[in-house]
Amino acid sequence: MTGTMAEPAFVHLHVHSSYSLLEGALPIARLAELAKADRQPALALTDTDNMFGALEFSDKLAGAGIQPIIGCALAVDFADQESGPRTGGLPLARPRLVLLAAREEGYRSLMRLNSRAFLETPPNEPPQIKLAWLAGEADGLIALTGGPGGPLDLAFGAGQSSLAAARLAALMDLVTVGCIDRLVIGVVERRLVHVEPDERSLGSRRCRRIHDSCLLPPL
């Protein structure tokens, strides 16, 4: 066989549509147009707390010759945060995992998790899932740590490296027992103003060290 293998095309795995209120502005039809113009072979829809656009997204992307990937960005209770005086009685801001359906079982698991987030969360709190729920509902799912709003980056940003390591260990346990098909750490290189150069990407470097020690695939 002659010739060289084509370079793998870039695929967005964390995309918000207009179904993500205050976060996304593009209708799904426009996302399909942009992905086709960019020659992307696939695109993931990961709206926040909902899957309202899943059917439309699947139809529009398939019609454009692009593989649709259905996902959702869900807040997760790792059971490592407690309300206190600093929260002022407000609900805790939970970190978010991006969950992608790798096959039909994953899609069904994602629907159940999304439904439970609304049905089983106290009415005075935003919808969220418990990490323990993934043990029984994550078959066929790929988990992304979510970047800036994810469980690792938020912990690093608060100077809690041990908390980040504990959260990663909990996620890795789910991978080890087969509850999650794959775990991918999203590393975000942030350049902050008025911060010494050596400290600008400290969180990213720490995240990379943990990432490399676990032999996880890069995103």
pLDDT score recorded for residue 102:
93
Residues 201-219: tens digit of each pLDDT: 455 555 555 555 554 544 4
Q: Where are any strands of DSSP class E within 102-180?
A: 129-130, 141-144
Return mean pLDDT, the chain.
Answer: 82
More confident residue, 193 or 52: 52
Output phi, psi for 203, to 5 deg.
Answer: -60, -40
Query: Could you give the 3-state DSSP secondary structure of residue 180?
Result: coil
Of 150, 181, 179, nearest in space to 164 by CA: 150
Of 129, 155, 131, 218, nearest in space to 182 by CA: 218
Q: What is the dihedral of CA 183, 177, 172, 78, to 10 degrees?
A: 100
pLDDT score recorded for residue 193:
47
Question: Mean pLDDT throughout 60-76?
Answer: 96
Residue 189 has pLDDT above 80, yes or no: no
Question: Mean pLDDT throughout 35-46?
Answer: 95
In whole angstroms, give the CA distance from residue 142 to residue 36. Answer: 24
Contact 206, 164 (CB under 8 A): yes
In whole angstroms, give the CA distance from residue 157 to residue 13. Answer: 23
Residue found under tokens 């593989």: 67
More confident residue, 218 or 60: 60
**pLDDT band at residue 153 under the 50/70/90 scheme:** confident
Identify the weakest region by mean pLDDT among 13-22, 139-148, 164-173: 139-148
Residues 113-151: tens digit of each pLDDT: 999 999 999 988 999 999 999 987 767 899 999 788 899
In whole angstroms, give the CA distance from residue 181 to residue 171. Answer: 11
User: What is the second-level CATH architecture of the domain 28-80+94-213?
Assistant: Alpha-Beta Barrel (3.20)
Q: Retrieve residue 74's tokens.
A: 């869900």
The identity of residue 218, as a single letter, is: P
